[in-house]
Structure 1
């Protein structure tokens, strides 16, 4: 019997960003479609897929992510995803002072 491929670990840079959610509530992750789904305070706030971190958006926050040049989550290049998650803006990372508003937006979007 063939074994399912092992889900790769969350990369250290994405794990560091996700660690910043811990000030907002308990954080947990689980394997999901070859990546990881991430919850903060029982709200689905992020996906890590192929080493890339995507944060939850909604109708109010999506334009902010798009205006910042963020890319939408896609499982494959040939079809769009129905999941509303976007990358962080370029230059925003775990050590960035600009990270906090993006995490707050993801948590707010996950609340709707």
Structure 2
């Protein structure tokens, strides 16, 4: 399967105050490098597992978990395979703003 972005939607394009990324992958270790946003991001894990780094904390997120990253908090995640990871990432902004830190 590899990695698929099932759809990125910026809220301003549909009259919403939130933007969404839908992602699905079976690539062990895949995920974005360390970054932050000037708004909260909420991860809704539909299936699979990933190791999340949120600020100074590391935790595993799995099927059914919801993780909230505060504004201006460095974060990243890496998929724990071989299961498929599928999630919805909700950005509390009408458009994506990302500062890459690594």
> Larger Rg: 1 or 2?
1
- The structure carrying a bigger helix percent of its residues is 1
- The structure carrying a bigger strand percent of its residues is 2
Q: TM-score, normalised by structure 1?
A: 0.27
Q: TM-score, normalised by structure 2?
A: 0.28
